[in-house]
A = this chain, B = another copy of it.
Amino acid sequence: MLDVAAIKADFPILDSTVRGGQPLVYLDSGATSQKPRAVLDAERSYYEHTNAAVHRGAHALAEAATDAYEAARSVIAGFVGARPDALVFTKNATESLNLVAYACSNATALAREDAGAIDPRLVLGPGDSIVITEMEHHANLVPWQEVCRKTGATLRWLPLTDEGRLDLSGLDTLIDDSTKVVSVVHQSNILGTINPVRRIMDRAHEVGAIGVVDACQSVPHMPVDVHELGADLVAWSGHKMLGPTGIGCLWGTPDILAAMPPFLTGGSMIEMVTMERSTFAPAPQKFEAGTPMVAQAVGLAAGVRYLEALGMSAVAEHEHALATYTLDALAALPGVRIIGPQSTIDRGSAISFVVDGLHPHDVGQVLDSRGVAVRVGHHCAWPTCRRLNVPATTRISPYIYNDTDDIDAAVAGIVAAQRFFGVA
């Protein structure tokens, strides 16, 4: 296990008390992680010593700011085994996934005018299909619904088993020659399930489809090498992995980044501009219009260095141990049901549950009254809740700064909730 006491000391917020003096027990890292001092220092230092417009100026500060921004890109790309120029910065994973979805709808619209200039893999129409899963975060569902509304393509999805795993029995018929895009979540934020994305991506490539992975809940929690996922594009967020709010990532192969038309357009992403027409810079600049989130990139790089110092294998082991402990503790509580895999095989540490006779919102409220912060609701995966016949869940999602004491506090809170509402 990690040295949690030492790690906690690096996170100022974890010293807080809430709700009238209760020490904070933060178990909502699946929503957003807390930030170590090193990240806050890196951001501040950037503003105090380096801040200037990047890629636009020739003066000393502008050069230093550009260096800081591009050095951050190298660090973050290296963290997932990627080349710096294959990494695009966005504001969050939602923008990253929308960027990909808009590549399809934009290519489709542009091809109506000038089909020759557009990569046909990105052009969709009636008869084409996009395949996702029934456990997607809304961020990897709604953008594809919108693409379908705009292009006439059909959305399909891999169904779930009652345990909250993908049912892959129909994989080869669901992903067929009509399929142009396959986009799946690596680790579910609500169920904790880790999906066999490599197998799904390989099937996507068999039929010539583009493969996309939503790695929001995997890059922060386990070693991830983008090449091993077998995808063309991988999206994730900075704020769930110790980084600041306001920065996300999109990795892509050189091939797909070159093929995709730009998304946001404006300054810094152009090659030539006249009033009549413009040409665009190569990736990643092509996808980074406007003044970027420079301080946030620098902060995220500091977060990545912090994780690298711990070692991502150690992080994954730590979370595995916490997941085992949590699953055992919850299994021992009468009236508590896990929503998602019961075993620790191919599952992460985010654990959803429901309590008989209690609404998840009320469970969360009792935990909160004891200083324990968990997430309640549909976790932006509403269809997943419906499929598993729950209106919502309560979710414990620990990270590097949590230990079994924190889990114990959550478990004690569940028991207290049962007692308070008189259901146990």
Q: Does A391 contact B (CB under 8 A)?
A: no
**Bound-state Cα–Cα, A145 to B137, Å:** 33
Measured CB to CB, the nearest residue on chain B to A382 is: B273
- CB-CB under 8 A for A95 and B264, given A139-B289, A290-B139: yes
> Chain A 248-265 against B: per-residue CB contact (8 Å), 1 yes, 0 no?
100000000000001011
Best-buried of A48, A106, A247, A364 by chain B (most CB within 10 Å): A48
Question: How many monomers of this protein are in the complex?
Answer: 2
Closest chain B residue, CB of each to CB of A244: B295
User: Known interface pairs A141-B273, A380-B267. Does A13 touch B57 (Cβ–Cβ under 8 Å)?
Assistant: no
Q: Are B91 and A61 in contact (CB under 8 A)?
A: no
Tell me if A282 counts as interface (CB < 8 A to partner B). Answer: no
Query: Given contacts A44-B40, A150-B109, is CB(A296)–CB(B56) below 8 Å?
Result: no
Q: How far is the CA of A31 from the CA of B52 in the complex (A)?
A: 8
The reply to whether B291 and A48 form a contact with Cβ atoms under 8 Å apart is no
Q: In the complex, what distance in Å separates the CA atom of A113 from the CA atom of B295?
A: 42
A109 touches B98 (CB 8 A): no
Which chain A residues (222-281) contact chain B, with CB distance < 8 Å? Answer: 237, 239, 244-248, 262, 264-268, 270, 272-278
Q: Answer whether A272 and B150 are a contact pair too, CB < 8 Å, given A18-B61, A290-B93.
A: no
A409 CB, min distance to chain B CBs, angstroms: 13
Q: Are A273 and B383 within 8 A (Cβ)?
A: yes
Q: Mark A368-387, 1 if CB is under 8 A from B, else 0.
A: 10011111110010110010
How far does the alpha carbon of A47 sit from the alpha carbon of B12 in the complex, in Å? 8
